[in-house]
Structure 1
Amino acid sequence: MAEPRCGVSDEGSQQIWAKRVNIIFTARSSAPMAPWRRRKRSAVRADKWYKRHLAYRIENWPSHLSLGSLRLAVNAAFQLWSNVSGLVFQEAPEGPADIRLAFYEGDHNDGASNAFDGPGGALAHAFLPRRGEAHFDMAERWTLNGHKGHNLFMVMAHEIGHTLGLEHSPVRHALMSPYYRKLGRSLVVSWDDILAVQQLYGKPPGDRPVRLPGEVLHAALQEWEFMDVLNRRQSNGLPLYCQSGLFDAITGDQNGTIAVFRGSVYWTVSADGVVSGPLPLRQSWSDLPVAIEAAAFSPLDAKWFFFKGKRMWRYSGRVLDPGFPKQSVELGLPRHPDCAFYYAPLGHMVLFKGSRYFVLNLQTLLQEPYYPRRLKDWTGVPQGTNGVLSRPDGRLYLFREQQYWRFDPLKVRVTRVGQWAKELSWIGCGEGPQSNNIL
């Protein structure tokens, strides 16, 4: 239940799926049952739309996503269903729309059971045909490129399925599974998704469904986001990570240059505050995946470390070291770490993951004995930080979303909390210093 989950109830899903499978093996018609035999449904729900051309509208969207990129992702999500059915979709920015997509926080007049609960839990929910609405939690960290956060394209495609009348599927890798899946290399819509939508709306013209693999869509989303980065930088001169308050990882080298990573690009901030970028990540470190989850620099040997999923990469400058990438489990490290950084008092690398932290010996590349330990050793440090910087005075700055925590290694606790884009001028966002003190 801790997995990212759709907020729509599973009631009736198993029975509907069983009937669908029965039709496959018995070759019975999928025509509607007689009125006196049909399963009773509530008055606000309907089995399907009784037309094939549907209009949709985006009511609002998170500020860290541009409308241009969001519209492309939404269009692609609707196109998935159009490719395998007899439906046609058209955006209607103004005027009446059959399907409306909106972002909300907390209670938004859908009933207490449908109130959004902030990061984690249910990410979205939708209503079956006639009402035609899909709601998404504004407080979640939405992404279009599959890096840290929840892939809005996949969640959007799932919820659109509900607005078309599809209930949840027990097929593990189906798009309509109650647990949101990640955008991988496999086909986005499964055989069960196709069968479900075609039972309601028939097959596409020509009877030749188009089933796009995830890697094709991933590449398209990556390109859209990269163009978004360039366009938004040109709009006001600030790098995108400053405008949105979001990045995936951050680290600094021996010269005091900071590297900020987001999706397929990164920026550098020199010791005197000059920002360069965005630069393509794989142009500098060619063997990396399209996005990373954690990055760290070791001043001991001037090595760069990158983490994604279950693997770790180590570079000498821009050259991948022999024998890398390595499997994290072989080193005693967790998959999908929150962040990584070199910690001078220990002389080793530290990784945070959830409520625990791990210590990696950089000489042996093995986890130090007696670890992992509980994160509470770092008094005041929250879970889920996505980057750590060590400053010349020895203090650490930990980042999560728009906030930072300053940690004093001598006092072994957090001594200050604030908003990094507004208060830390050395991070490249051009604002003056202000802060909140902690006693």
Structure 2
Amino acid sequence: MSCNIILFFCYQGYLSQFYADVGVTNSSVHRMVKTSFRQDLQTMQVTGVLDNETVEAMKAPRCGVSDISRYGHFDGKPRWKKRLLTYRITQYTQDLTQSQVDAIIAQAFQLYSDVIPLDFKQVNSGTADIMILFKGGYHGDFYPFDGAGGVLAHANSPGWGQGGDTHFDDDERWTFTQRGVNLLLVAAHEFGHALGLDHSRDRGALMYPTYRYVNTNGYRLPDDDKHGVQALYGPRTITYPGPEPEEPTEDPNPDPLPNPRGEQCSRGLVFDAATSIRRDLFFFKNGYYWRKSTTATGIRFTKVNTKWSQINYVDAAFEVPSKDVVYLFEGRQYWGIRAYAKTVISGFPKSLTNLGLPSSVSKVDAAVYVPTTRKTLIFVNNQYWSYDQGRNQMDVGYPRYITQDFPGIGSKVDAAFENYGYLYFSDGPRQSEYYLPYRRVMRVLLNYGWLNCY
């Protein structure tokens, strides 16, 4: 029976699928009471009658989760009880490269971690909290996809087993632009469901049920969605306690360089180097570092050689999480260190020439490992090199000019690090938040903003 033959019944089926949950009651049976056809039309908040505007709304691509008009959260307000959620992508789309999908999914999760006290970590094996796949048609649950258009994706609410799992219809053409279906917008919508958000009646909200493209450059969670998710998890708070010393503050061998502790909240603060170490962020200055933890409050301040006795100051640093190794540069040498360990890996320090840098390079200004490309970018003056961590050798065709490949960040980099899919490049006190898939600066910040100074 086709929609061309019996239009009424097809649209009634649409309403039954997506708008018949209005009468959910809280009872031991959790009964679903179907509303009348006219009531369902009114629930859609279009016109309340089966006219052209309503028909067009029904044709719009949309999420596969039913619309419950009275609640911003799922019945019972399910939510995650942990602060760190893992996710795993088990099947990728062929429309984008794997690295592009990884970066976009990370960006979608960051929309939420920016406003609530949850963090998200991608894993590549085992069962994660949120399992993600791209597949068309029947894909292992009771909600097969319907081909291009129509239902784009669906997600489960928080809970055990398949709670939070998110599926994307691979019959769609997934993109990171306005053509096809923008993966960032759909993924962020579905992850709202995975965190406990239901659909919204606000047409400007991310959680509105039908897909509509908006410019994603610098995209942030709309207020309606932000308030909804914060009602479940609370806001991501900023703490203001003073720095907590990790080691004794009295140093028997004082460093000739000035102690930068008092610069923590200076708008003119310039970093020597920065890196992540197991999701904590380390910012280096004059032989000291500030440590911003994902689990502890406050900013810890420590002298470098009390942590790593062979190193006096740090010019550049980067972490390769898959190897659980951090590399610290000082002058013409660099050290490999197991994350958080105080001992240097055997065979270090090594000369910069071991990386393939020319002997004329006396120091590295900054370095950052890009997980999506598995390359380490090494910055010296107004140029940079690309080091392949898989092949353990420098890529051909380098050095290249910074302004040529990273427009907008300036002609030099003093410090660089990666955080939740974005690259952060510091030039003096100014910092550029850079999104590599777009090759574009998303925001311009100041360094001191990372140190709980707002």
Q: Same-fold call, TM > 0.5?
A: no
- The bucket for the TM-score relative to the shorter chain is 0.3 to 0.5
The TM-score, its normalising length taken from structure 1, stands at 0.41
Larger radius of gyration: 2
The TM-score, its normalising length taken from structure 2, stands at 0.40
